[in-house]
Amino acid sequence: MYELIKVSARDHYIQSPAKIGLIRLDEKNICLIDSGSDRDAGKKVRQILDVNSWRLTVIYNTHSNADHIGGNRYLQTNTGCKIYAPGVECAFTRAPALEPTFLYGGFPFAELRHKFLMAQESDAKELSPEVLPEGMEIIPLPGHFLDMVGLRTADGTVYLADCLSSVETLEKYRIVFIFDVASYLKTLETVKNMQANLFVPAHAEACEDISGLAQYNIGRVYEVAEKLLFICGRPIGFETILQRLFTDFGLKMTYEQYVLVGSTVRSYLSWLKDEKMLDCMFDKNLMLWHRT
């Protein structure tokens, strides 16, 4: 873990729970794409920099989930690097308590205020094409989170952030976090037809052809949707829907899973309602979901 993998003359990634991109800007200076999950990840990145006599000048965050910005604070404090994050993700990076608040839908209780869901704050500025190295491009990848992006380098490597998951992850967890299901499906269709010298997803193996994995992720979205439509064959409340999903998919409920999967299920319900496949009603002051 935290092995440096070279993929082109200038492009690398650090093998870690959420892959970190590393691009050489010249003989001395490098930039990172994301920074890992926490201070310890930042320290391991710093060790790689020191061994290679590199200087970190900037971190480009693809989005503001804690496992992608957790090393920001340590690295910025110790190197003075700049940090950029896209759109609303920049606000979440500067004020990471927004993530557990957003997921829970209110002030998060103590068991939700930890590094898995809430990184340390860092001094981020908004990502734009003007602050990128020559030849690097922003790729909008909405759906998984608010304003997530990927990055394409001058050497033709595409860093895909969290826009898809490995087969192993989908088999284990069945439901992965999605903020906007409609946008997520559009992003997967775009990625499926994308060309690159190498694709580096954060949570799947690097590969030259991403189309098959993208299609597999699309299929799993529709599988979850079909399951929800089946569960909502009669009017049913959200908490019972969530319980049924966890039971039927063999998942174990924890505080973290409750907010991550719960938020995702709400997003699925919104999408299915907008698509007029589900509707909701109120009965005895309970909101109940049902098939149309």
Q: Are residues 158 and 254 in the same domain?
A: no
Q: Are 167 and 74 in contact (CB under 8 A)?
A: no
pLDDT of 284:
97
pLDDT of 256:
97
Q: Are residues 150 and 235 in the same domain?
A: no
pLDDT of 227:
98
Q: Is pLDDT of 222 > 90?
A: yes
**Domain coverage including residue 269:** 227-291
**Averaged pLDDT for residues 36-61:** 98
**Averaged pLDDT for residues 267-275:** 98
**3-state DSSP assignment of residue 196:** coil
Q: Are 59 and 75 in contact (CB under 8 A)?
A: yes
Q: Are residues 238 and 143 in the same domain?
A: no
Q: Are residues 148 and 17 in the same domain?
A: yes
pLDDT of 143:
98
**Position 216 in a domain:** no
Of 72, 73, 74, 59, the residue nearest 21 (C-alpha) = 59
Q: Are residues 36 and 148 in the same domain?
A: yes
pLDDT tens per residue across span 99-136: 999 999 999 999 999 999 999 999 999 999 999 999 99
Strand residue runs (E) in the chain: 3-6, 11-15, 20-24, 29-33, 55-60, 82-85, 124-126, 137-140, 149-152, 157-161, 198-201, 236-237, 278-283, 286-291
**Averaged pLDDT for residues 25-49:** 97
Q: Are residues 138 and 16 in the same domain?
A: yes
**Averaged pLDDT for residues 126-154:** 98
Q: Are residues 35 and 157 in the same domain?
A: yes
Q: Into how many domains does the chain fold?
A: 2
**Position 98 in a domain:** yes
Instruction: Look up the CATH number of the domain holding residue 265.
Output: 1.10.10
CB-based burial label for 109 (10 Å; 0-12, 13-18, 19+): exposed
Q: Are residues 130 and 254 in the same domain?
A: no
pLDDT tens per residue across span 57-101: 999 999 999 999 999 999 999 999 999 999 999 999 999 999 999
Phi, psi of 25, deg, nearest 5: -90, -30
**Position 127 in a domain:** yes
Q: Is pLDDT of 44 > 90?
A: yes
Q: Are residues 148 and 43 in the same domain?
A: yes
pLDDT tens per residue across span 169-221: 999 999 999 999 999 999 999 999 999 999 999 999 999 999 999 999 999 99
pLDDT of 253:
97
pLDDT of 89:
98
Q: Are residues 104 and 235 in the same domain?
A: no
pLDDT of 1:
86
Q: How far apart are CA 174 and CA 224, in angstroms?
A: 8
Of 40, 5, 39, the residue nearest 23 (C-alpha) = 5
pLDDT tens per residue across span 232-265: 999 999 999 999 999 999 999 999 999 999 999 9
Of 242, 248, 171, the residue nearest 204 (C-alpha) = 171
